[in-house]
Amino acid sequence: MNDRSPDGETVWAQHSRLRVVPPVKPRKLAKVPFVELADGRLQGVVSSGSDISRVYVSSIAAGTHDYNCSTNNNRPCGGLYGSPCKHLRALAAEAVLQYGLDRVARYLRVDVPDGTELVDRLTGAHEPAPAAMVFSRFLRHLAYLEVPETTMPIPEMHWFPAEGAVR
């Protein structure tokens, strides 16, 4: 039974145990520890190659494809010369690894013909956007690793079955 099969209407309507959010694919997290499709943007955090305590917050808006890159303290990225910097390119590449090209392209509303890279198909311009929101979402993401475990049963998790990765 495939939850996302084309004839899935009744499956979707009448099943309780579904994996509505497809599981993401594993990828190396060192360079781009955080990627998400949220609030109408592909956004994430890219670790600086030169300073381990600095990160860049990069984002690309769905539809307009306007992009921004700055440090988490809102200092603009020096690599934005009228085209996406290396952080934005890394963000887009890792998003494709994590979610698959289809899902990212659909979200950003961009057409990516075979043999081209998603980031080269973006038509937007540099448009400053506040980094604080994305950075705080990243910190919230990291904070999950510090949430204590529990051995009390959580029966609500029966609604969230594990789904096999394709091997």
Partner 1 sequence: MLAVQLADLLDGDPEGTGEALALVDGFDDALVHGLARLADERTAALAALAGAFTATPIGERLAEAAAEVASGSIAAEHLTTLAGGRAALFGAVHDALLARLDAALGREREPWSPAPESEPYGVANMLGGVRSWLRELAITGWRGVDHDLVSAVDQIVEALTAAPGQRRLAVLLDGFAAELRASCPIATMEHLPVRRWADLWTRAVLLAQDGVLPAEPRPVGLVSGRLLVLGVDVHEHGTAVQFQVHAVLEPADGGPARLVRTGVTVAKVDTIVGPALWTLAHEHKVLLAALADRRSLEVTDLPLLDSGDLVWHDDRAFLGKPADSFTTARLHLAGALAPAVPPLERAPVRIAEPVLVEGYKVTEDGSFDLGGAEITVDIGRLPSCGPLTPKLVAGSSACVGLVRWDGGRWLLQPLAVQAKVKRETVEIGTGDWAQGPTDPKVVKAEARAGDAVAVLRERAGRLLRR
Q: Please give the residue ranges that form the binding site for partner 1 (CB under 8 A).
A: 1-3, 8-18, 20-21, 23-30, 33, 37-40, 47, 52-53, 55, 98, 138-147, 149-165, 167
* Tokens describing residue 35: 């990627």
Distances in Å between the Cα of 102 and the Cα atoms of 67, 99, 105, 109, 118 are 20, 8, 5, 10, 10
Pick one of Zn ion, partner 1, none as the site partner of residue 76 (Cβ within 5 to 8 A by kind): none
Pick one of Zn ion, partner 1, none as the site partner of residue 77 (Cβ within 5 to 8 A by kind): Zn ion
Pick one of partner 1, Zn ion, none as the site partner of residue 85 (Cβ within 5 to 8 A by kind): Zn ion
* Tokens describing residue 79: 């690599």
Residue from 32, 61, 77, 118 in contact with Zn ion (CB under 5 A): 77
Cβ proximity to partner 1, 114 vs 143, nearer residue: 143
Pick one of partner 1, Zn ion, none as the site partner of residue 82 (Cβ within 5 to 8 A by kind): none
Which amino acid, residue 21? V
DSSP designation for 84: -
* Tokens describing residue 77: 């990225």
Residue among 25, 132, 31, 29 nearest 86 (CA): 31
Taking CB under 5 A as the rule, does residue 85 contact Zn ion? yes
Shortest reach from residue 34's CB to partner 1, in Å: 8
Pick one of Zn ion, partner 1, none as the site partner of residue 81 (Cβ within 5 to 8 A by kind): none
Shortest reach from residue 137's CB to partner 1, in Å: 9
Which amino acid, residue 36? E
Query: Count of alpha carbons within 13 Å of 128, Cβ hemisphere only?
Result: 7
Residue from 32, 57, 60, 69 in contact with Zn ion (CB under 5 A): 69
Question: How would you classify residue 115: left for phi > 0, otherwise alpha for psi between -120 and 50, otherwise beta?
Answer: left
- Residues near Zn ion, by CB under 5 A: 56, 69, 77, 79, 85, 87
